[in-house]
Amino acid sequence: MEPNSLLDAILDEAAISHAGLAAHVNRAGAARGLTLRYEHTAVSRWLRGQRPRGQVPDLICEVLSRRLARPVTLDDIGLGIPGEPAAARPGSLSGFVERATALWRSDQQQRPHVLGAPAVTGTPAIVPVWEWENPPEDTDVSRGGPRRVSGADIEMLRAARAHYEQLYRKAGGVVIRPRVVSFLNAEAAPLLRGSYGDDTGRALHRATGALVAVAGICAYDADAHGLAQRYFHQALRLAKASGDRAFGAYVIALLVNQSLHLAAHRQAVAFAEAALRAAGRAVSPALASDLHAMQAKAYAHLGDAGGALDCIRRAETAAERIRRGHEPDETGYVQPGLVNVQVAEALLSLGDLRGAREHARAAVASPAHDRGRVHRLAMLSHIALRQGETDGAVEAAVEMAERATGMESRRLRERLRAVREHLVRTGGSGTGQAAELIDRALRVPV
């Protein structure tokens, strides 16, 4: 089920409690000859995504219309079309903006039904990618509103994206996501509802989409996969409105990475293919190399050695064409050595320990920010242990633990725990010291 952020937002606007709404719905139903016995628990289920039965959605609209002294429609409360999640429902761009900003508001208010929502699978997971790739396009994204959007506003959004991305790399997504979401609510939401022409509107949607993608990355890093997926889907819709295919392909790369983590390997392959196919020559060499490398990992997990090796070759060829200074801001994460660590993981899955170790060493030897280096060292330590080289594994694990200390990231904590467990199982000289250092890094509360 998809959490109903629109209903949550309008209840907040109406200053009505869950129990209060249930009581009003019961009374409105009685006026129509219905016997209803709803309590606050039913409203909580509606907010988590359950659709009320029969006439109840209309009764909710009736209650809220009276409370707010204005018409409230089924679309306003997120119940416009039965059986479809809001992210997948067709509609106007302005309607999407209202659904998106409702999610930001619910996230900032730490609504449990939003924070704890699971990632959707099947058709609801695929439709946003299909809609990005296929017509219709947004022919005009201009809008009239109370505030005129300027080029300076868009530059502010771009600067904010770069700022929050750097903070994420240093401190992790757990502590940074609330800051990004607060900024989206305070700055981006009023701009999206502002006044702008088509050209300015496309730049605005592009810049906002990039910020939303960072919110999704932080949610993913905090293990809130349903929330992360919803942010990625929002960023993809904003990418379509911007007309920037390359940016859309970048957002899909984020979905590919999440699919790999969730072991949806066939979906990862399909999404990467969609990004490469739809964006075509607009895909930068850095993004192409990452997409091919992630495909290689997916194929390796599926046991398709031929597909994995072919994607490895494509990734390496694309990486050779990367020219720093000629890449979009978002692909800065594709630093030297990233493809190596992706290839190392693919080769490890295929059982090629020697090749995996070679690529892991190359990754560690390349410059990277601390967060990326932790992941590379974890991979090198893991491979060394698989090869029975305890000393090399301990050396990598010690540096990994030192660099990870202070970072609030559930993804990094998973890597740390996995390395620690492998060290303890293996035993040998220095493993106890390395495990103790990892324990110290893990003591940081998340």
For 7-16, write each residue's pLDDT tens digit: 988 898 888 9
Same domain, 110 and 16: no
Asked whether 79 and 7 are in contact (CB, 8 A), the reply is yes
pLDDT at 84: 45
Same domain, 14 and 137: no
Q: Is residue 141 part of a domain?
A: yes
Same domain, 79 and 97: no
Same domain, 69 and 116: no
Q: What residue numbers bound the domain in which 58 lies?
A: 5-83
Q: Is residue 10 part of a domain?
A: yes
Chain mean pLDDT for the chain: 91
Beta-bridge partner residues of 143 = 196
Q: Is residue 53 part of a domain?
A: yes
First to last CA, the chain: 27
Same domain, 79 and 95: no
Q: Is residue 68 part of a domain?
A: yes
pLDDT at 88: 37
Instruction: Give me the amino acid identity at 316.
Output: E
CA distance 325 to 335: 12
Domain total in the chain? 3
Neighbours of 272 (CB within 10 A): 28
pLDDT at 444: 60
| Residue where a domain terminates, one of 180, 209, 243 | 243
| Residue where a domain terminates, one of 38, 66, 83 | 83
Q: Is residue 362 part of a domain?
A: no
Q: Is residue 278 part of a domain?
A: no
Same domain, 97 and 160: yes
pLDDT at 1: 67
Asked whether 262 and 225 are in contact (CB, 8 A), the reply is yes
Same domain, 123 and 236: yes
| Residue where a domain terminates, one of 51, 83, 115 | 83
Our CA angle for 227, 229, 232, nearest 5°, is 115
pLDDT at 111: 86
Same domain, 119 and 138: yes
Q: Is residue 229 part of a domain?
A: yes
Same domain, 213 and 174: yes
Same domain, 98 and 220: yes
Q: Is residue 322 part of a domain?
A: no
pLDDT at 91: 53
Same domain, 43 and 128: no
pLDDT at 45: 92
Q: What is the pTM of this model?
A: 0.83
Instruction: Please list the ranges in the chain whose pLDDT falls under 70.
Output: 1, 81-91, 444-446
pLDDT at 99: 86
- Residue keyed to tokens 């993804």: 411
The count of C-alpha atoms lying within 13 angstroms of the C-alpha of 112, restricted to the half-sphere facing its C-beta, is 3
Same domain, 135 and 25: no
